[in-house]
Amino acid sequence: MARTKEISEDLTKRVVDAHQAGKGYKTISKEFGLYQSIIRQIVYKWRKFKTIVSLPRSGRPTKNTPRARRVIVGEVTKDPRVTSKQLKASLTLANVNVHESTIRRTLNNNGVHGRVARRKPLLSKKNNAARLQFATDHVDKPEGYWKNVLWMDETKIELFGLNEKHYVWRKENTAFLTSVHELNINRRKIFFQQDGAPPHYGCQVRAFLDEQFPGKWIGRRGPEEWPPRSPDPTPLDFYIWGHLKAIVYAVKTQDVQHLKLRILEACASISSAVLLSVCDEWEKRVALTIQHNGQHFEHIL
């Protein structure tokens, strides 16, 4: 059975004093915010043993001393990536032998929980300023402006085969689907967007975009500058990739060809209504970027 949090001697004394003053269990419970069952236990111990001090417990004493708890919390504060196994090794060197589950429970009791680290680029003050400037310049764009932006990004979807080999299917910079060339779009209305990844900055790439989207592309050193280290604000990054992978991985893929088929089916399943809704969400994120001075804001969403 898990051990409950021990009540302080001061609070215990106040409960006993209230009981001696003639107050009932229900009244004391409301006054101190304790369950009536706890009030009864305190009064029972005081009547039987005439003390409010915690009595010695039966069974094996805990190995998790106050010093051990301070060491555990301190190590995690210094290095959030340290594992419970590494913490156990550190405590063993200090002649404290505790189980890994005890370490995790100690951290949980101190408000520290294991979480998947968020993969977000580190932003400098200069990066924040650039993000803020971009958002400020674009927050008042006319309604529907962002629906004419052709967002571009890449991701990878992996199939884990035998012997730890990773089979990856992703779009290469030099390979294009024939259907992409046949898209019938009015380029006079379209803005092309890409992030600042090094391959996107090549002279040939920028020359191609200047030819295909003259004066109407957003990117590193483009007619409109895209802020550095900022893949996260794009609809592809904050929604589409996660949604797409959730669909793909909902069914166990058998081989690379099956994986490709799953990806094509997942792309086809995303409706235009969803895409329009995502564009509306982007407009909200532009405003949030301004509110947070260009810093990350996903933690509040």
**Could you tell me the CATH number of the domain that includes residue 275?**
3.30.420.10
Report the sign of the C-alpha dihedral through residues 12, 14, 20, 26, in that order.
Answer: negative
Q: Check whether residue 219 and residue 103 sit in a common domain.
A: no
Q: Is residue 26 part of a domain?
A: yes
The string of pLDDT tens digits covering residues 9-24 is 888 889 999 999 999 9
pLDDT at 72: 82
- Is 225 found in the same domain as 99? no
Range of the domain at 22: 9-49
Residues 149, 206: one domain?
yes
142 and 214 inside one domain: yes
Q: 276's torsion region: left (phi>0), alpha (psi -120 to 50) or beta?
A: alpha
The pLDDT value given to residue 62: 65
* Strands laid side by side in the 191-193 sheet: 149-151, 191-193, 217-219, 224-225
Mean of all residue pLDDT scores within the chain: 80
Counted domains in the chain: 3
Query: In this predicted structure, what is the pLDDT of residue 63?
Result: 64
Q: What is the pLDDT of residue 159?
A: 74
Name residues of the chain where pLDDT drops below 70.
1-5, 54-64, 116-121, 160-187, 299, 301
pLDDT value of residue 290: 92
152 lies in the same domain as 43? no
